[in-house]
Chains A and B, each alone.
Chain A
């Protein structure tokens, strides 16, 4: 079965420090991977996606993600965290058995302290 795991319920980081939000996946074939962010009382906003090509994907708000096929991971990163980055982050993978559906991880809450 295809799946996505976000092993950390919460990540705490100080403002100005680098941040990493982890995501691992299990799919058959080549994965299409996505990161979304959800601010309080808002819908999910698209950050970035990996389809093919360069393993380092750059997205919105200074975020980037590194695709690692051997470790089946797609970790979200940012070199210098901002307090305004505090939000809920979701990793998702395209369900290859069902065309356009996405399988979402359970989410990771990022808390950036001043």
Chain B
């Protein structure tokens, strides 16, 4: 079955380290998204991509980067992890239609000490 996976599921790191969270989908969706979920804030969009080589900033993109070298993967990199980036991160994907549904991965819980 087609799916969307994230790895690792849990990660503990130290302030200042570079961290990369993986997202992989097998639906062949062009659209991919990264969100973070924090208490009191719901889901906030970090970065998104509408296809290979396309990346765009979301509302909370500072300190994060993404790259899209193929359709299946959109890794999220924290260049220099900060304690404020402790959060749960979700990846999602969708087809290109305006009415198409976004489907979410299981999430990665990141703790920055």
Contact = CB atoms under 8 A, between A and B. Distances in A.
Nearest to B109: A41
Contacts of B43: 44, 90, 104
A71 to B, nearest CB: 22
Contact of B103 (A41, A46, A94, A104): A46
B102 interface: yes
Nearest to B6: A43
A34 B102 CA distance: 10
Contacts, number: 49
B105 A43 contact: yes
B14 interface: no
Interface stretch (A11-19, A20-28, A77-85, A95-103): A95-103
Interface stretch (B61-69, B79-87, B91-99): B91-99
B106 interface: yes
Interface string B19-56: 00000000000010100000011110100101000000
The bracket for how many chain B residues form the interface is: 20 to 34
Interface residues of A, number: 21
Given A43-B107, A107-B42, A100 B101 contact: no
Contacts of A46: 101-103
B42 A100 contact: no
A107 B40 CA distance: 9
A110 to B, nearest CB: 15
B40 A99 contact: no
Given A42-B106, A44-B104, A32 B41 contact: no
Contacts of B92: 44
Given A34-B102, A90-B42, A105-B42, 13 more contacts: A43-B104, A44-B90, A46-B101, A46-B102, A46-B103, A100-B31, A100-B48, A100-B50, A100-B94, A100-B98, A100-B100, A101-B48, A106-B41
